[in-house]
Structure 1
Amino acid sequence: MHKIRKMNRSATPRLSICIQLLSALLFLITTSAFNPTPSSSITHAARISRGRQRIATSSSNEQSTTTNWDKVTEEWELDCYSRPVLVDGKKKLWEILVTDSSGNLKVCRTLPSNKVNSREVRKVVEEIIDESEVKPSTIRFFRGAMFNMINIALSDIDVIAKPSRCTFALANWLEQRNRDVYPKMEGYRATMSGIGGIGGTFLDIRTAVKLPDALRGEKYAFVGLPLAEFLEGGGINEENIGVGRLCPVDKSLPADAFVQGVVILTSRAKALSSWLAGTEVAGLKADLRKRELVMETDIDNQFLMAKLNDEQRREAASFEEGKDAMGGLHFISVQRDEDDDPSGFWLLREIPNDL
């Protein structure tokens, strides 16, 4: 039985994972032909060291910010786009939404349709920053159709502008507004919902390219961890994951459900983790038609992690089914070997294309 665990615990609180992989497949990637050689299936259980949960998601607070500034982060997320509502029956409603990576900060400002330009967007963002007790160091945005306008708007503000699919808190908020807010507004048009999916969400996604040999994992395993480990009182938090990040978790999901993920085993775990930390890791996707395991980064990049044979394709299908059941939630763990702590850990969510 293969175990992914830490044999000797250090005094410093760290993320310790002992994973016996339930119906998981550990497979070897050869760097010459890039064809995986599967091992036998192995069983799964999870044990994770306990730690204090720092991620918290506030309830929706329309048109204003929350006052819980202690939990607001310096990493903000921005969207500027039209909504499925017609103002006075003829003009689209345009909004600027600003939140932080924890989802505690929420600001919604409407924008007249004749003032949808970089100058007005910059003005609104500067006003929000001036009114906030916590100032942003980074502002992420995911909307490909608005890339140029938002990029120009943020260029004169003292922040790092990052086009990225790692706008997890913003995606949660947009889904809530699409479900609970816009349908109740006068002028709502259901036929306009989801228009962002027609080229509005992301830039054209590039064809997946192979990772450099120096960063390629030797083995990969599809695994699962209980959602409870990511909730308050669970064992995984931002203080013990080392390199990586944790996206906000939808508290309506059942705590006893399992979050699907992929463990990457490599002798170059630190190098791979450092490289991933320098990118905007958005998630993993199993392309069942092409039989590929693909990592998505930034706003439009894809990297080919592995080719899948028949047995691995079945495991990948289960991974995708589990991911869909959890609203796109999944994780990546990078480790040197089965007996080591993760060098990097990312809890991610696949962002819908119809926001």
Structure 2
Amino acid sequence: MATLGLNCYSPGIRVARPQSAPLPSSHLHPPRPLSLSRPIHTLSATPRRRLAAPPSSISTASTAADDEEGLQEEAEEEDDLDPTEEVRFLDPAMEPGSIVEWEMDFCSRPILDDRGKKLWELVVCDRTLSLQFTRFFPNNVINSITLKESIASISDSLGVPLPKKIRFFRSQMQTIITRACKELGIKPIPSKRCISLLLWLEDRYETVYTRHPGFQQGSTPLLTLDNPFPMDLPDNLFGEKWAFVQLPYSAVLEETSSFAARYASGQSLDLELLGFEIEDNTLVPGLAVASSRAKPLAAWMSGLEVCSVEADVSRARLILSVGISTRYIYATYTKNAATTKEAEAWEAAKKACGGLHFLAIQDSLDSEDCVGFWLLLDLPLPPV
């Protein structure tokens, strides 16, 4: 693990509390030391991010789609796209059995059908966009039975096995999605870590929905995303010390390249797929949390779908977002000019990196290695 550059040390804001549950162990990779010197305030790079989707991702290609079509032909196909048609795509280079997790959205769109009612749409992909599927539905067939049958039809039509897990990010659809998944033996995971899906929905808004003959400009979303007030942190997630930290983007890439071998606890992101264009020496902001019980703490955190960390400058606290709509007060600090400046600089650095940041759990803030590492992306709400 590259050495974390320290910016703001906040002593003793959380005291570990006892808990009696059995604690799993983790096996760590030897550290890779790297010294840092530049303060976080000097971050100025503004990255461009685009979803590096497979060539046929926005067409209605079948599993027999020709991968050898040139970029010019691909652009022409996009111009000829019929926004009313389904997308059915499976990358021929992908082993179907290797796709074990899907990301799903089942929601209304700003599109009216012939009856003047909002169309609903099922959008499914995997995190690499090797699998893509869409289908429109009238609003009078929206239930768990329709969703269950549609999930099964994806498996049949694309020749892939049912996934082990399906992630979804809308709390209002939790009952329908959970019921459909469980009847198929699939584990539903409420989570905003549906990064590929969220970015694809943003792309579909521009390339499909706005071009649909029934598109309604300015239509209010039927299912808005929750952003509830933060709750107190559960006892088992308490740390003892924390600090704003930073890593060069090059070091972040190294962490993701060997993530599975290095960490038993944490989650990564496919930065190549997400199309990040950041200079190697740009500093990526993060939060380091130290605890005398770092391994158990990291293990407990692994049971959460950690989405993002936010510095709430006005209230002098850090907010941890997990799952779909759960927000915790992760830490607090004394509010003064110095701490406000640090928190504002950290948020500015995160924005300069396109929302990219990380959470690291360590035995101590002086350690050159991490027990757990979560690469996070603070995304804006999807337009639908």
Partner of 1:29: 12
- Counterparts of 2:376 and 2:129, CA distance in 1: 15
TM-score, length basis structure 1: 0.79
Q: Secondary structure at the match of 2:314?
A: coil
Secondary structure, counterpart of 1:172 in structure 2: helix
Which of 147, 150, 175 does residue 121 from structure 1 map onto?
A: 147
In the superposition, relative to structure 1, how do residues 76 and 19 fare at CA in structure 2: closer, same or farther (>3 Å)? same
For 2:95 and 2:119, locate their aligned partners in 1 and report how far apart those are by CA, in whole Å: 32
Q: CA distance change for structure 1 residues 163 and 112 in 2, over 3 Å: closer, same or farther?
A: same
CA distance in 2, matches of 1:190, 1:229: 43
- 1:86 aligned to which of 89, 112, 127: 112
Deviations 1:259-283 (A, max 9, x none): 3211112221111110011111121
- Residues 206 and 251 (structure 1), Cα distance of their counterparts in 2 relative to 1, 3 Å cut: same
Q: Which residue of 2 aligns with 1:178?
A: 205
Alpha-carbon deviation of 1:109?
1.6
> Whole-Å Cα distance in 2 between the matches of residues 169 and 151 of structure 1?
21
Letter in 2 for 1:239: A
Q: Take 2:144 and 2:329, find their aligned partners in 1: how far apart are those partners?
A: 35
**Residues 228, 91 of structure 1: alpha-carbon distance in 2 compared, 3 angstrom cutoff:** farther
Partner in structure 2 of residue 286 of structure 1? 311
Residue 89 of structure 2 aligns to a residue in which SS? coil
Over 3 Å counting, the alpha-carbon distance change for 1:206 and 1:160 in structure 2 is: farther
8 Å Cα contact 1:241/1:342 also seen in 2 = no
Q: CA deviation at 1:188?
A: 2.0
For the 8 Å contact 1:93–1:110, the answer to whether it is kept is yes
Q: Decide whether the 8 Å contact of 2:14 with 2:241 is kept in 1.
A: no
CA root-mean-square deviation: 2.9
Match of 1:66 in 2: 90
**Which gives a bigger RCO, structure 1 or 2 (Cα 8 Å, sep 6+)?**
2
Q: Which runs of 5+ in 2 are unaligned?
A: 16-35, 41-50, 60-86
2:176 paired residue number:
149
Amino acid at match of 2:132: K
Which residue does 2:83 correspond to in 1?
none
Q: Where does residue 7 of structure 1 map in the other structure? A: none
CA distance in 1, matches of 2:305, 2:244: 22
Q: Which runs of 5+ in 1 are unaligned?
A: 1-15, 33-41, 47-55
**Deviations for 1:133-169, whole angstroms, at most 9, x for unmatched residues?**
3541111111122222222222201111111222222
C-alpha separation between the residues in 1 aligned to 2:231 and 2:217? 34
Contact 2:14/2:239, CA 8 A, preserved across alignment: no
Partner letter of residue 236 of structure 1?
A: T
Question: Does residue 1:217 correspond to 2:244, yes or no?
Answer: no
User: Runs of 4+ in structure 1 displaced over 6 angstroms?
Assistant: none
Q: Deviations 1:320-352 (Å, cap 9, x if unpaired)?
A: 223233343221111112224211111122243
Q: 1:354 to 1:168 in 2, by over 3 A?
A: closer
TM-score using structure 2 length: 0.73
Structure showing greater radius of gyration is 2
Paired residues for 1:95-110 under 5 Å: 95-110=121-136
Aligned residues: 315
Q: What is the rounded CA distance, in whole Å, between the counterparts of 1:179 and 1:319 in structure 2?
A: 31
Q: Which residue of 2 aligns with 1:323?
A: 350
Report the counterpart of residue 166 of structure 1 in structure 2: 193
Shift of 1:70: 4.3
Which one-letter code corresponds to 1:200 in the other structure?
T
Q: Normalized per residue, which structure has more strand?
A: 1
Distance 1:215 1:114 in 2: 43
Matched, 1:345 2:373: yes
Supply the AA of the counterpart residue of 2:53: S
Alpha-carbon distance, 1:80 to partner: 0.3
1:236 aligns with 2:253: no
Indicate the structure with greater helix content. 2
The whole-number CA distance in structure 2 between the counterparts of 1:185 and 1:271 is 51
Q: 1:20 to 1:207 in 2, by over 3 A?
A: closer
**2:22 corresponds to which residue?**
none
CA–CA distance in 1 between the matches of 2:248 and 2:89? 32
